[in-house]
Structure 1
Amino acid sequence: MDDSLRLDTLDRLIVAQLERNARSSFATIGAEVGLSAPAVKRRVDRLVDSGVITGFHASLDPQALGHGVEVFVELYCDGRTSAVEIARIVSRHAEVQEAYTITGDANALLRVRTTDTAHLERTLENLRSEPAVLQTKSSVVLSRLIPPAG
Structure 2
Amino acid sequence: MSKRFQLDEIDLQILKMLRKDGRLPYTAIAKELDLAEATVRKRVSRLMEEGVLHVVGVVNPAYIGRAVTAIVGVHTEGQEVEAILSKLQEWDEVRYAAVCAGTYDLMLEIAVESNEELFHFLTKRLRAIPGVVGSDTSLVMKVVKDRFSQVGGEHVSHDS
Q: Distance in 2 between matches of 1:126 and 1:105?
A: 22
What is the TM-score of this pair, normalised by structure 1? 0.88
Contact 1:101 1:107 in 2 (8 A): yes
Q: What's the secondary structure of 1:76's corresponding residue?
A: strand
Aligned residues between the structures: 147
Aligned to 2:6: 6
Aligned to 1:102: 100
Contact 1:2 1:51 in 2 (8 A): no
Aligned to 2:55: 56
What does the per-residue CA deviation read over 1:95-135, in whole Å, with 9 as the maximum and x for residues that have no partner?
11100111223210100000001111111120101121111
Aligned to 2:64: 65
C-alpha change, 1:70 and 1:2, in structure 2 (3 Å) is closer
Q: Which residue, out of 89, 92, 103, partners 2:90?
A: 92
Give % identity: 24
Q: Distance in 2 between matches of 1:72 and 1:6?
A: 33
What does the per-residue CA deviation read over 1:22-64, in whole Å, with 9 as the maximum and x for residues that have no partner?
10000100111110212111111121222222x2111222111
Contact 1:2 1:50 in 2 (8 A): no
Q: What's the secondary structure of 1:71's corresponding residue?
A: strand
Contact 2:80 2:130 in 1 (8 A): no
Unaligned runs of 5+ in 2: 150-160
What is the TM-score of this pair, normalised by structure 2? 0.83
Report deviation, 1:2: 8.4
Q: Distance in 1 between matches of 2:126 and 2:3?
A: 38
Partner AA of 1:114 in structure 2: V
What does the per-residue CA deviation read over 1:62-85, in whole Å, with 9 as the maximum and x for residues that have no partner?
111111000001111113323x22
Q: CA RMSD in A?
A: 2.0
- Structure 2 residue 17 is the aligned partner of structure 1 residue 17: yes
Q: Distance in 2 between matches of 1:11 and 1:43?
A: 7
C-alpha change, 1:66 and 1:88, in structure 2 (3 Å) is same
Partner AA of 1:12 in structure 2: L
Unaligned runs of 5+ in 1: none
